[in-house]
Amino acid sequence: MKGLLIRFVVTGTAVLLTAEIIPGIGVEGPSAGIAAVILLALLNALVRPVLYLLSLPFIILTLGLFMVVINALLLQLVSFLVTGFLVEGFWPAFWGSVLISVVSSILNLFISEEGRVEIVIHRSKPPRIVN
């Protein structure tokens, strides 16, 4: 449960960072940002898997690029449903979904399922010389 909450905070950080970086995406206040993060997390957990399943032929045909389009459409849906969270068009939603995915993926690499920060270091052994 702790890992889920930390991942939720990571997604929230990614959404707020995206609102600052991408022109055309904005948050008018902290309550709008929190509502957008909660709704986006719910849509990603409940609706996105169904959309992925229904659009599987397009995802295969585009080698996965259509998944970004689905994420962009979900981001626009959040903008429509949450007052104070603004996405002005498809292209800001597209680039916003790309940035949210990249930032969330990078930050989630360091979070375990138990909610601990984990850094794994693999040290390679020197090669053995066999005569």
Residue 115 in contact with residue 2, Cβ under 8 Å? Answer: yes
State the pTM of this model. Answer: 0.78
pLDDT of residue 60: 94
pLDDT of residue 95: 95
pLDDT digits (tens, 9 = 90+) for 43-72: 888 888 899 999 999 999 999 899 999 999
Range 5-23 burial, b when 16+ CB lie within 10 A, else e: ebbeebbbebbbebbeebe
Task: Give the start-to-end residue ranges of the domains of the chain.
Answer: 2-108
> Which parts of the chain sit beneath pLDDT 50?
none
